[in-house]
Copies of this chain bind each other. A is one copy, B any other.
Amino acid sequence: MSSEFGNRLRVSIFGQSHGSAVGVVIDGLPAGEAIDLEELQRFLERRAPGRNALSTPRRETDEPRFLSGLENGLTCGAPLCAVLENRDQHSSDYDALRDVPRPGHADYTAWVKWGGRADMRGGGHFSGRLTAPLCVAGGIAKQILARRGVFVGAHLASVGPEDDAAFPPEPDAALFAAMAAKPFPVLDDAAGERMRAVIADAAREGDSVGGVIECAAVGLPAGIGEPMFGGMESRLAAVLFGIPAVKGVEFGAGFSAARLRGSQNNDPFCLRDGQVRTSSNHAGGILGGITNGMPLTLRAAVKPTPSIAKPQQSVSLSRMEPAELTVTGRHDPCIAHRAVPVVEAAVAAVLLDLLEEG
């Protein structure tokens, strides 16, 4: 059950980075929903590499072929399967890595688990490539959510030591669209320039940097989610931590709430336009695991790309002796900006699942 999530909406992801294709099966989509394939394609391209000077020039083919579930542009009730062929494979780059696991990668743990039979070329099933089919699922979910008045957006909150501004208390669809239109999705373009410089510096030194993504969803009705382990935080975190390289997730004020007093962190209830709202949103729109109608806000920490050009210490698994490793090939010096739509996709898929559960 490793590569699936969801209750009503089941998302099942398959593929290896250097196999013939990656893809997704989505079972439980509502029927009769129009999928705008051009809009989906634009969403997928936000994740694609080679989009700017900061990404690897490797050309992936992020044009999904729909094998089932979509007829005349409408979902038909049957499980939807979308396949993305893998075209640009440089397997030889990875042959040397079979014996000497790359630090920070799943090479060693996959070797322990699957006894050397894992197809770990390019990271195999652990590769960031697998976020492409997740984005297909999330991109479809975003379109359906938008028709229900629910919008999901995200920006790059930090890269290395440089921080973007935070989302305003009540972000809206227009702001999300503006973020989606930027090649480097930040609120403060000056901060964005500093972030790019951090990435460029790391690249020059054969190194990489991490970052944090802030994501929000607006338009969610109050009352979605369940107590305890079925809560919004549990459901969302389980999927967000399934994105490769995510090592931390927080909701609302998150870790900083632990520094506050109750009188600061509690969000007072108030009335606005006849609706119960809160005048601050440290809760990130979630109380007791259940939405309160305020914007859902969360942040996900993405570790620096483990593939770096600098020589690293590792071991030879066959000889059980130390080995120095230099990873060749071209690698993203930062994946956090490419992970922005992936976080949106994960959140959108979970939200649609929750709304479908009712």
User: Contact residues of A with B, CB < 8 Å?
Assistant: 1-5, 7-8, 10, 12-16, 19-23, 25, 27-28, 31-32, 65-69, 71, 74-81, 83, 101, 103-106, 108-110, 112-119, 124-126, 130, 158, 160-161, 202, 207-212, 222-223, 225-231, 233-235, 237-239, 241-242, 244, 246-255, 257-271, 274, 276, 278-279, 282-284, 287-293, 299, 301-308, 310, 312-315, 317, 320-322, 336, 357-358
Contacts and interface: CB of A to CB of B under 8 A. Distances in A.
Given A31-B114, A78-B227, 8 more contacts: A1-B226, A3-B230, A4-B12, A103-B278, A234-B237, A258-B302, A262-B307, A266-B312
Q: How many copies altogether?
A: 4
25 contacts: A1-B7, A2-B28, A3-B27, A3-B79, A14-B80, A15-B67, A23-B68, A76-B124, A78-B227, A103-B268, A103-B278, A104-B266, A108-B276, A112-B290, A160-B258, A161-B259, A210-B257, A212-B258, A247-B284, A248-B255, A249-B249, A257-B303, A274-B320, A357-B357, A358-B358
Contacts of A23: 67-68, 81
A210 B302 CA distance: 25
Nearest to A346: B229
Contacts of A302: 258
Contacts of A267: 103-104
Most buried by B among A158, A227, A269: A227
A270 to B, nearest CB: 7
Contacts of A119: 71, 76-78
A235 B229 CA distance: 11
Given A233-B247, A253-B303, A254-B247, A260 B210 contact: yes
A105 B313 CA distance: 49
A301 B258 contact: yes
A67 B21 contact: yes
A357 B8 contact: yes
A287 B251 contact: no
Contacts of A288: 105-106, 109-110, 126, 244
Nearest to A20: B67
B315 A226 contact: no
A174 B122 CA distance: 41
A253 B104 CA distance: 12
Contacts of A250: 247-250, 255, 301
A10 B8 contact: no
B238 A235 contact: yes
